[in-house]
Amino acid sequence: MNITDSHLHLSDLSQNDFSFIDDIFSVDGVDKYLFCTSSHSLSDYNMTCQLIKNIYSKYDISNVKICHSLGIHPQNPDINMTSLLENVLKYEKYDIKPDIKYDKLLTKYDILQDKYDKISAIGECGFDLFTPEFKSTLDKQKEVWNAQLELAIKYDKPIIVHCRKGMCHIFESIEKLKKIKAVIFHSFSGSVTEAISLRKKGVNAFFSFGKPILNGNKNAIQCVKSLPLENILLETDSPYQTLKGEEVTNPSDVLKVYEQFVKLRKDENEIISNQDVILKESSILNQLNQIFTEENFNLINSISENFCKLIN
């Protein structure tokens, strides 16, 4: 069975502690694990490339597959990052070394010689208007958003969207979004109506859900229950998006997200709650072994199939 986590941050996790991969494979029936890690600065990108190499030196690529996305996060809308992003994309497209234009930062840029340094998607990009501080940078957010949409069109890459309280700006960009290969809404917080409307308007949109579905988030739960299966993805956003009482989100929490997803899609009454997740760690493995069964094989694998269709 394949498990796909469409969004996490490898460089923000405990460095070189890859035991989460073993944890995921400890569940009966799970034999493939794919995840997409996001970077938002040059140092973050370089560190992630190194971590990806470390994982591939330890695990077989036929079991573990890693995708890497790079983007300008709306919480730090630095337009200068656009050159870095374009250099990485250019390198991949023409298979050449990047031009050393991105001022001093690029002198450290020798790592991009390896096939594992290429990126599969642009992002996180989008809008974050959650706090007054973030709101004050709206103009800059718009500028980096538009620049990234242009790059996604030019280099034919999917984008990973981070959007908090900014859905109206997403809808303002429909014409550009329609030209993009795939638009993945990470931790989608919109409503079912908004999700369907995006698709109806011709955007190849996918909606990814994580721990909010374990935390009673009504919009996310409703979306997981009722959106077409082929438009749904799952994620952890680890180490972020912790539940109450947790210090970090571990990538292996993707199993709990899958468990909830299966229950929601099958409309079972006994939906797991936040409490269950935190209190009954020891019995969780038993519960999971009941979820990752032959019966749920197609449902579980559909998530990986969706992801593989839109990213490579």
Residue type, position 37, single letter = T
Taking the least distance from each CB to Zn ion, the nearer of 65 and 211 is 211
195 token code pair: 């999700």
Q: How far is the CB of 237 from Zn ion (least distance, A)?
A: 4
How many chain residues are in contact with Zn ion, going by CB under 5 A? Answer: 1
Taking the least distance from each CB to Zn ion, the nearer of 5 and 237 is 237
Q: How far is the CB of 258 from Zn ion (least distance, A)?
A: 18
Taking the least distance from each CB to Zn ion, the nearer of 44 and 86 is 44
Pairing between β-strand 2-8 and β-strand 121-128 as defined by DSSP bridges: unpaired
Q: How far is the CB of 7 from Zn ion (least distance, A)?
A: 6
Taking the least distance from each CB to Zn ion, the nearer of 86 and 237 is 237
Beta bridge mates, 2: 32
Q: How far is the CB of 159 from Zn ion (least distance, A)?
A: 13
200 token code pair: 């109806």
Taken in order 284, 287, 289, 292, is the CA torsion positive or negative? negative
83 token code pair: 């050159």
* Distance spanning both ends of the chain, measured CA to CA: 19
Taken in order 279, 277, 17, 21, is the CA torsion positive or negative? positive
Residues between 208 and 247 with contacts to Zn ion, criterion CB under 5 A? 237
82 token code pair: 């656009």
In the complex, residue closest to Zn ion by CB: 237
Residues between 28 and 67 with contacts to Zn ion, criterion CB under 5 A? none
Site string for Zn ion, 278-307 (x = CB under 5 A): ------------------------------
Taking the least distance from each CB to Zn ion, the nearer of 13 and 227 is 13
15 token code pair: 């460095």
φ and ψ at 98, to 5 degrees? -65, 150
Q: How far is the CB of 213 from Zn ion (least distance, A)?
A: 16
What is the contact surface with Zn ion in residues (CB under 5 A)? 237
